[in-house]
Amino acid sequence: MKHKKAGRKLSRIKKQRRALIKTLVGSFILKEKINTTEAKAKEIKPLIDRIINKSKAALRIGGSSRSIRILKKMIPEKAAQKITADFLKRFENRNSGYTRIIKLKQRKSDGARMAVIEFV
């Protein structure tokens, strides 16, 4: 039974899943729009919200080095730099809901549900 077990396994072991999510979030931040499976898009959406809220809080405090260091552990360094520079001005009036998921047709090869995830 799967009571009180959140998240998706994505057919991977824990280390592979963590690496996949980290690279997905990093490439999503750098490109601002990616095509992926629906499950992966739904998995990274709350992470993006959390990351942007943490970076907004870090800059409100005064850009504390500790919070920026924590941010760099969650995502690649280039993505962390882009968030602290560009996105905070863009989303300063929003509290959440920074992304949208648009569902697409199923992938022809294996029938996986596809989706586009992008910033609002």
Question: Mind listing the pLDDT tens digit for each residue in 12-50?
Answer: 999 999 999 999 999 999 999 999 999 999 999 999 998
pTM of the model: 0.86
Q: Bigger pLDDT: 76 or 42? A: 42
Cα pseudo-dihedral 75, 6, 32, 24, rounded to 10: 50
For residues 99 and 110, what is the distance between their CA atoms, to the nearest angstrom?
Answer: 26
* Token pair recorded at residue 120: 């609002």
Q: Are strands 33-37 and 99-106 parallel, antiparallel or unpaired?
A: unpaired
What percentage of the chain's residues is helix, strand, coil (to nearest 5)? Answer: 55, 15, 30
Share of the chain above pLDDT 90, in %: 52
Domains along the sequence of the chain with CATH: 32-119 (3.90.1030.10)
- Which residue shows structure tokens 């899943």? 17
The identity of residue 56, as a single letter, is K
Q: In the structure encoding, which two tokens stand for residue 86, read together? A: 């560009």
Q: What is the pLDDT of residue 64?
A: 61
Length of the chain: 120
Q: Are 40 and 9 in contact (CB under 8 A)?
A: no
